[in-house]
Amino acid sequence: VLPTREITVKVSTTAESESGSKNPVLGDKIRDTLKVEGTVREGDWTTVELFRTEAGKAPQCDADTKVWESDKILLIPGTTEYATNWYTPTDAGTHYFVETSYDADGNVLSKGVCGEPDETITVSEKPVTPSGTSTVKPVKPGSLASTGATGTILGLGGIALVIAGAAATILARRKGLTN
């Protein structure tokens, strides 16, 4: 039985990855953001559970598919936006966030629905890069291609020329002294 007072929790999901991609891959962190509407009283709180199924399968949010639960989020009167702590998925598939909000006595005020489009994120496997491949960088028009010669190689060449010049000078002086 729900209490006579209800709050509305409008939830949107945000996936964040180091690359800024909206299509997370394994290793990227994801979280849920919550927008709360209605009367919030001191002691109200929310948690968010995350469920996973294989990509392409029907949403299923139960104990067998639960992979994570957020820390308890205390709702503060006058504050409307909250975010869960971050979670790093360990398996690829479709992930479903479901929030549940409670009053100070633990009575359910609102509960999300499994499979809401705004609450669904598909996490993919990391793309595999074959070993032994190289990355080719395009060359700007009108510039020389990078051949791998660096300042170090050029510096060593300069030192070799100085040594060769010094050796030639010493040999020339010796020849001049013996004649």
Q: Averaged over 143-160, what is the pLDDT?
A: 56
Q: What is the pTM of this model?
A: 0.66
Lowest-pLDDT range of 7-11, 24-28, 120-124? 7-11
125-135 residue pLDDT tens:
988 877 765 55
Alpha-carbon distance 83 to 11, whole Å?
A: 10
> Is residue 6 exposed (0-12), middle (13-18) or buried (19+ Cβ within 10 Å)?
middle
Other beta carbons within 10 angstroms of residue 70's beta carbon come to: 21
The pLDDT of residue 104 is above 90: yes
